[in-house]
Structure 1
């Protein structure tokens, strides 16, 4: 029997769950009707004059005075029409020109994959009120962006890169070899977009006279296809998707000169089976920074490229026994001779200062905690700003420190979860803060932390939560498998410790993730958990080994063993909590989505004597079906690590499943392919395992659209109520 220890973070254990009888119950419809949705401040952009910022509201672009909150409407989409005559003009994104006299407006956005879109763009002259379509073509563009000087814009169309002179309207085509499923210029291929987190793959130089861009040659990548089930005759949707161990695109980096039309190819080495996860312009208009990784992602090189000759110099190399994470933490100081980056080389993710020659100048932060977000460096005051887990892995706070590591200050209040949007001159920041029982509070602050005013208090939602039987989380640690795991528990409404209750565990559990935090949650999933507490269920979530916020070794011990330690931890915690007098050990279930669906499937197989039921939504069922970058980062290739792939495969263990199993997937899932569920169904049938399944035609990994989400949660709710 595993040892069990609870460390409650409440003065009275029962205080958070003892709900008065006169509280309103949370009904199922509350999951979807917005009753518990917080108000937000959207699309904030800091302006040149540090006294102002802008945001969108009510289909308008509005300029705000930081000090007194005075509003000036810069563009009202309700007063303008699209070129096709439809009114109003939907504002779906905006940018300022350098002098802030013009707006580049994005509208009619068409989603492609997770981050990729195509849309129409318009230029709005604020002084004259003139609205002009960016290009004369009827075809939509991708990733349009104004030059630093604001007199030009560049964009992608049909896998080629273009730029347009805003004064004359003349369009110049930069590349001409773009072709569907073959060559992509200036946009990412599917796997880079999904796993390296960017879709726009081109960048203006500081002076706006050059464009650095990616070129993806997808010819050797195998096609995957899904079926579009609309229409009398369903049609295939084909795209290049490299599965683990298969061939990737050949990626090259190029720089285009707008003055002479020349394109320089940058030397990134002779190896083509590698990754270029990031490129960044330095402060030098002639110098491009390139980060290069090997296929196994355990070595990363920082190269500096001369954009006139294409030659590169190796500046810095980092290696790992496991894997290296890709991040955006690369900042070039105004002095031109130093840069800042982050690394977990000492066991925790920290900030380092280097010379431009790659020599370490200073480890700026240190300690047994992670810097989770490097915000930037104020070159005037020699102070940098970052968010970290120093107060607790469950919390995030904003800090500032001198670049020499001295005079560190916590700028937020040390409680809960803080997200920061800082002005470009570092004089102000917007803090979106919440706690597990307090909805987001959005406030404006000076750089030293002093509050100027509250932008959104969400007091109405806070009062509403108090009217309903909203259950606060109880945080605890559970000691299993030689490690202490962070856990939260939601107890049923009117909890009685002398009674026993069924328990549902929610799991994600993937590398670097966290579900156990003090951030406020109010989406459909957390509100479903609240609904279940109103139906007499205990809801629990555990951050197993491999999750984030606790340093390199805690996260990376799962290397080459995905699904093994994580499943052991979920099962062991379930066994431990089953010893509590109020948990019905015969009615314990688990559910998850994506990696969580993978985990719930493994848990039901390996923990058949512990779990009575499991729901797996859009699960990976064998890592050989998933993409190269994500899978090989943690597992190497199937050829190098066959044992790891086999031991972490729900397909291999399908015959071990004994409990009630609900398998759900969308046929239009471009990320975790429906193939995973098809193969799992086949394995379950072959092993004569009883199960239930639900297929959502043409729905992607998020399984939404129309009535889909309501149907999905009603289905899962019915399954839990009937089987747990």
Structure 2
């Protein structure tokens, strides 16, 4: 028996030895990328379109497919047939799908925004019509398809496609002063939208937001560039407690060529505008500065009267979402966590509660819409466990709930417009994305696309299985995962490297397929590290109480939870309690810094990439949502800012930032650098010139960064960990 066991171990070791280590170059050169359905767009009827690229002809096309058969029906447009365009990067249909807007030469501005050149393509005449000779933003068809509204140079324009004439709706747009129809920096970043104008259903009115940034403080960044002298990027950025842009609501009537300003009471923010199914009624969402008092206003454009149809308040804050859906009678679907968990509600057009469609100690994580004919709503939730996502349907009366996807993992649906079909994307920690077709009752009809080639290719690499578990500490029970080296031996000890993000409502412990960082963690595991991720208090999908436990004290309790988690893990016999490190990016970088400083008896080293180092430096909307203003909550801001206790540094510390970060400014790193210098504390610093928050633009940028971090880990955490274990 002993000989058989030794033979089995020898064979297993030989098989493992024949497999390859994941290299950093492979992680960042696309070796492990997954196949996807690009720019999937649901069409009228049982059809969908995809944006496809032909390597042979170097052209792009919009191709139409049948949901029921998955067969290609036709090519709607192919750039190889267009003399004016060699390719296009984006497409958008009009309502009756007789025209498309095609976009080329896109130029990024901030996280979501971009400029580009856009054309209208007419399917019947197969002709292109240039919308504007200059680069523009957010071109949008009117519902009657006769006009296109767009933004240029902070103003709004409307092009009449029939007469080829252009109407300038606003004329006061001015950089760093007045913006019409496009969000300012902080709205784009924190309310996650760019286009701040919307057509009424009858195409007669265009509602839009106007941002007066005049009194918003200006932030500037030096751009190193490639010239003899650097330049500057200057933009308005409201930091916590500072003045925001004054945002007002306006409606332009195309027939009268007249703009009216709408009075919607007292507010600080207008985070959403949306026309109801009544062409004369606009819905505007307002928030106070504390973001704990939300109102839905109905604005009647016939007399500009306003009415509050829903008022939601919270002791902490109310989240903004895009789940507001109007039914044919102008009643509406809304999601709220007012009962402690995010659920679906149906309200009458007067704002009276008709029915709470879902309930329970679990969260609705996505709302896909409704089929009014069958009175059915479709949604995604964590009913199968907070690290999983499953698709469900439920009747308007709150009954007949049905699970539409069976596999436990992460399911995400793309429904046809009529809700007869949906394409489900499934993955888990061991399965790369698989796309399958389902009918509205959940029956799986066909497999659309899989990543079997990637699965097969990965068999030649050394990979460890991600183990999910609940970690119980002094401060709670938390979702966690662990990666061990493929050659793990429970009789030996290993250094521990912790990864986390920890931001409000976020989730890092999810049963889904690998991100690029997961491959990095596999790379580190093979070097002899145990990798662990913990979602502590403040993270999402476990109810409002868990998420909002950190209110007014960002990173205080999150830091305590990571330190306690490290101490609990260190009790395990195979973890070296003297060799524990942690890293994070952005909010996670703030956390890793805090853990190293406040948990100096626990953590030996940390890496912080693009970290916030004082919430006083971050933007108003995000920071005040969780902290209120510095004027109201001085202790909450300063007691958890590492620039105020840099003298606590004992371990090894690598600080990384992009100098062109418009989000978390490099000011954060420079101020912490000064504090560390004044405290005479040694540390390592890496500045990536002109790189933004993601530190990815430019040749080999990500590879360089991850080489640097990997080397730092090897030199400062269980030095040459794998070699030590092999001795």
TM-score (norm 1): 0.94
Q: Contact 2:37–2:50 (CA<8 Å) still a contact in 1?
A: no
Q: Contact 1:37–1:522 (CA<8 Å) still a contact in 2?
A: no
Q: What secondary structure sits across from 1:20 in the alignment? A: helix
Give me the whole-angstrom Cα distance separating, in 2, the residues matched to 1:62 and 1:33: 28
Q: Contact 2:93–2:99 (CA<8 Å) still a contact in 1?
A: yes
The residue number in structure 2 matching 1:483 is 476
Q: Contact 1:654–1:680 (CA<8 Å) still a contact in 2?
A: yes
The residue number in structure 1 matching 2:495 is 502
Give me the whole-angstrom Cα distance separating, in 2, the residues matched to 1:354 and 1:52: 31
Using the TM superposition, name which of 147-156 and 218-227 deviates more. 147-156
- The partner residue of 1:293 within 270, 287, 295 is 287
Aligned-residue offset at 1:599: 0.4
- The partner residue of 1:256 within 252, 256, 259 is 252
Aligned-residue offset at 1:414: 4.3
- The partner residue of 1:396 within 384, 389, 395 is 389
The residue number in structure 2 matching 1:192 is 187
| 1:210 corresponds to 2:205 | yes
- The partner residue of 2:607 within 612, 615, 638 is 615
The residue number in structure 2 matching 1:675 is 667
Q: What secondary structure sits across from 1:255 in the alignment? A: strand
Give me the whole-angstrom Cα distance separating, in 2, the residues matched to 1:19 and 1:176: 70
Give me the whole-angstrom Cα distance separating, in 2, the residues matched to 1:23 and 1:370: 41
Give me the whole-angstrom Cα distance separating, in 2, the residues matched to 1:367 and 1:236: 52
Task: Compute the RMSD of aligned alpha carbons.
Answer: 1.5
* Equivalences, count: 698
Q: Contact 1:391–1:414 (CA<8 Å) still a contact in 2?
A: no
1:275 and 1:322, CA in 2 relative to 1: closer, same or farther beyond 3 A? Answer: same
Q: How does 1:145-164 map to 2 (within 5 A)?
A: 145-164=140-159
| 1:125 corresponds to 2:122 | yes
Q: What secondary structure sits across from 1:321 in the alignment? A: coil
Aligned-residue offset at 1:354: 1.2
Q: Contact 2:343–2:357 (CA<8 Å) still a contact in 1?
A: yes
Q: Contact 2:427–2:512 (CA<8 Å) still a contact in 1?
A: yes
- The partner residue of 1:116 within 113, 116, 130 is 113
Give me the whole-angstrom Cα distance separating, in 2, the residues matched to 1:148 and 1:20: 60
Aligned-residue offset at 1:689: 0.8
Summarize deviations over 1:401-450 as a string: whole Å, max 9, x none: 00110000010114100111111111111111100110001122211112
Give me the whole-angstrom Cα distance separating, in 1, the residues matched to 2:391 and 2:187: 30
Q: Contact 1:143–1:200 (CA<8 Å) still a contact in 2?
A: yes
The residue number in structure 1 matching 2:76 is 74
- The partner residue of 2:536 within 544, 547, 570 is 544
Q: What secondary structure sits across from 2:550 in the alignment? A: coil
Give me the whole-angstrom Cα distance separating, in 2, the residues matched to 1:510 and 1:195: 13
Using the TM superposition, name which of 258-267 and 380-389 deviates more. 258-267
| 1:101 corresponds to 2:102 | no
| 1:419 corresponds to 2:420 | no
| 1:310 corresponds to 2:312 | no
Give me the whole-angstrom Cα distance separating, in 1, the residues matched to 2:653 and 2:480: 24
Give me the whole-angstrom Cα distance separating, in 1, the residues matched to 2:653 and 2:13: 30
Q: What secondary structure sits across from 1:496 in the alignment? A: coil
Summarize deviations over 1:64-113 as a string: whole Å, max 9, x none: 1223333222222244354xxxx622x21101123322221011100000
Q: What secondary structure sits across from 2:312 in the alignment? A: strand
The residue number in structure 1 matching 2:3 is none
The residue number in structure 2 matching 1:626 is 618
- The partner residue of 1:446 within 424, 435, 439 is 439
Give me the whole-angstrom Cα distance separating, in 2, the residues matched to 1:77 and 1:695: 41
Aligned-residue offset at 1:19: 8.0
Q: Contact 2:47–2:64 (CA<8 Å) still a contact in 1?
A: no
Give me the whole-angstrom Cα distance separating, in 2, the residues matched to 1:268 and 1:335: 24
| 1:595 corresponds to 2:595 | no
TM-score (norm 2): 0.94
Give me the whole-angstrom Cα distance separating, in 2, the residues matched to 1:226 and 1:365: 48
The residue number in structure 1 matching 2:637 is 645
Higher relative contact order structure (alpha carbons within 8 Å, sequence separation ≥ 6): 1
Q: Contact 1:30–1:36 (CA<8 Å) still a contact in 2?
A: yes
The residue number in structure 2 matching 1:335 is 329
Q: Contact 2:46–2:66 (CA<8 Å) still a contact in 1?
A: no
The residue number in structure 2 matching 1:324 is 318
Give me the whole-angstrom Cα distance separating, in 1, the residues matched to 2:321 and 2:47: 30
1:18 and 1:217, CA in 2 relative to 1: closer, same or farther beyond 3 A? Answer: farther
- The partner residue of 1:21 within 12, 17, 24 is 17
Give me the whole-angstrom Cα distance separating, in 2, the residues matched to 1:315 and 1:88: 50
Q: What secondary structure sits across from 2:637 in the alignment? A: helix
Using the TM superposition, name which of 288-297 and 306-315 deviates more. 306-315
Aligned-residue offset at 1:335: 2.5
Q: What secondary structure sits across from 1:304 in the alignment? A: strand
The residue number in structure 2 matching 1:5 is none
Give me the whole-angstrom Cα distance separating, in 1, the residues matched to 2:357 and 2:127: 49
Give me the whole-angstrom Cα distance separating, in 2, the residues matched to 1:411 and 1:618: 40
Aligned-residue offset at 1:28: 2.1
| 1:165 corresponds to 2:160 | yes
Q: Contact 1:469–1:493 (CA<8 Å) still a contact in 2?
A: yes
- The partner residue of 1:88 within 75, 86, 89 is 86
1:467 and 1:129, CA in 2 relative to 1: closer, same or farther beyond 3 A? Answer: same
Q: Contact 1:17–1:472 (CA<8 Å) still a contact in 2?
A: no
Identify unmatched segments of 5+ residues in structure 2.
1-11, 55-59, 718-727
Q: Contact 1:264–1:307 (CA<8 Å) still a contact in 2?
A: no
Q: Contact 2:298–2:308 (CA<8 Å) still a contact in 1?
A: yes
Give me the whole-angstrom Cα distance separating, in 1, the residues matched to 2:647 and 2:603: 15
